[in-house]
Structure 1
Amino acid sequence: MTPSHKPTDLPSFQGIIPPIVTPLADNDHLDISGCERLVEFLIEGGVDGLFILGSSGEIASLSHNLRAKFVREICRMVNRRIPVLVGITDNSVVETVQLARAAEEAGADGVVLTTPFYYPVNQAELKTFVQSVLSETKLPLLLYNMPAMTKLSFAVETVAELAQIDQIVGIKDSSQDIEYFRRLTKLKSVRPDWTFLIGHETLLAESLAAGGTGGVNLGTNLFPKLFSDLMIAHRNRDEALMKDYQGKIDQLEAIYNIADRSLPLLPLIGVTKTALSILGVCEDRMALPHQGCTHEQRHRLTEELERLKTTLF
């Protein structure tokens, strides 16, 4: 590992970087016009970047060909206006590297790597996994802690060791554990250039107060300006306004509660996609075998979105 210092040639990905859903026309084809509308909707909402092929993008349920095509299409649509980060994780190092190369060729700005899943992996193997991918790409890399989906966490000690590598530029944490996040942000003492992004949107304001630098939040797909305005308030050190925006963000739970909350994340992606379809942004098809919202859920979502439009703005 190289000694830690502030790199001069690597970007710092900070602010509101939504984990965008993957608009699908059918199980292995993109809803291209929906992708274009989603990109423009988010950019107009003031987001600081896009994170594609994360958990919210159903990466584990998409074919490798579709993942690569999605990367190419989104990079083309964004056209360097804001940074594009690409989730590349696969249980196979070879496939992970292939997607990293596709991201590099498409013009993405960075890649995001979570832990492998299915087989148990110890922390030493996890470091080997990260280093194996790094050796095959020139793009800056963010770590991604998502234990609810992968059943494995990056230990803080592992993150501290990996932080010695200049090419690793930050971490996104979706553990919902604010104490773990606070321990991560102490790494600013060795990597002041690092990005610390929170996934759980109800913790956004608290995470920024704890030293975080931005959010990768599902609700940004629906109300990008709300999240962007909270970030502006943070940059202006307006704590009262931050609290106000966080209270509005917390109201998005009403949308998520329409989903089956007994299962982690996937039903929330489903209601988010259906809400986007109600807003006229993109289709709400889920990758097979996952099911979207029922007719009754769609009706409730329509009513809830109308209510939120009047209460949030």
Structure 2
Amino acid sequence: MTVPAPLTGVIPPVCTPLTEEREVDVDSLLRLVDHLVAGGVHALFVLGSTSEAAYLPDRQRRLVVESVVGHVGGQLPVLAGAVDMSTARVLDQVDAVVAAGADAVVVTAPFYVRTHPAETERHYRAVAAGSPVPVLAYDIPVSVPGRPPADVVLRLAADGVLAGLKDSSGDLAGFREIAVGARAHPGFSVLTGSELLVDAALALGAHGAVPGLANVDPHGYVRLDRLCRAGDRERARLEQERLAALFGLVRAGDPARMGAGSSALGAFKTALHLRGVIACPATARPQVPLSPPEVRTVERHLVAAGLL
């Protein structure tokens, strides 16, 4: 289907449920999609960081896109990550996800080797030239140091190369610069990837949000989006604060024995398992699973948020 320009609202980066054998659990994936659609979300983003795309072999990436696109049947736009180390490899990923039915692609800058801004710009121009669907840039500096600078993003927006930006930098000042500059390009989508700053980002001019926590509480983020757009600042603030407290579940894992990614993705999947959405909370190897006490910590956050 055609992707709105700009793309607005809540666009969850969909978790990828796995079986205990670390195969894609398609039945759970489709239940998760139904859970998100019932929550009122406005589009779906598969194969991003929350989807564990970096851990999935190509056959599993393709299965995820095909399954989600086939299930939603054009009800909502489906964006897919094209995440790889170089321009040539990203173009291969673009070909694969478009063949599987993706309506747009979300593309990182090259990584492993650090890139100069001029190289990042060349990368996006080449990817857009080779993509039959809109291309959004994915700014995630925690994983991709060669992030696209604001001037590059805005130049690519002006030239029609990029259709939008998914910003997971947490840099609100930098986000403001892009949001302000993007006003000259009304079809360009400015999206925040921060669970904690959605109200602030929308106030700065963001068109929408891509919060991983929306897997767990899609209704909450849709409610927050609606309150912000209605100008109900006080109720929006209270909803954002409730979601910020719920986001504390990402710290359930003990940092002495696991990384922040294992803790956060494990917590999202554990929450979905506790809520009866997915059958198994397994994360892809080599991530470390949550222990029983850590699972109880996630459960306490769900209870406090009114979700259990």
Which residue of structure 2 aligns with residue 35 of structure 1? Answer: 29
Which residue of structure 1 aligns with residue 64 of structure 2? Answer: 70
Offset from partner CA, 1:172-229 (integer Å, 9 cap, x none): 1111110000001122232122111111111110011011111100110000000001
Distance 1:203 1:261, change over 3 A: farther
Task: Specify the SS of the correspondent of 2:305.
Answer: helix
Query: How many angstroms does 1:77 deviate by?
Result: 1.2
Residue from 196, 200, 223 that aligns with 1:202: 196
Residue from 298, 304, 307 that aligns with 2:304: 307
Query: How many angstroms does 1:250 deviate by?
Result: 1.1
Which residue of structure 1 aligns with residue 132 of structure 2? Answer: 138
2:288 is the counterpart of 1:295 = no
CA distance in 2, matches of 1:38, 1:246: 23
2:272 is the counterpart of 1:279 = no
Query: How many angstroms does 1:299 deviate by?
Result: 2.2
Q: Runs of 5+ in structure 1 lacking a partner?
A: 1-7
What is the one-letter code of the residue matched to 2:300?
A: E
What is the one-letter code of the residue matched to 2:268?
A: T
Query: How many angstroms does 1:264 deviate by?
Result: 4.0
Which residue of structure 1 aligns with residue 179 of structure 2? Answer: 185
**Which deviates more from structure 2 when the two are superposed, residues 212-221 or residues 158-167?**
158-167
List aligned pairs for 1:108-187, cutoff 5 A: 108-187=102-181
Task: Specify the SS of the correspondent of 1:298.
Answer: helix
List aligned pairs for 1:232-251, cutoff 5 A: 232-251=226-245
Residue from 44, 52, 60 that aligns with 2:54: 60
2:40 is the counterpart of 1:46 = yes
Task: Specify the SS of the correspondent of 1:172.
Answer: strand
Residues 22 and 282, structure 2, Cα contact 8 Å, conserved in 1: no
CA distance in 1, matches of 2:59, 2:78: 19
Report the identity percentage: 30
What is the one-letter code of the residue matched to 1:33?
A: D
**Which deviates more from structure 2 when the two are superposed, residues 193-202 or residues 91-100?**
91-100
Query: How many angstroms does 1:254 deviate by?
Result: 2.8
CA distance in 2, matches of 1:307, 1:252: 8
What is the one-letter code of the residue matched to 1:115?
A: A
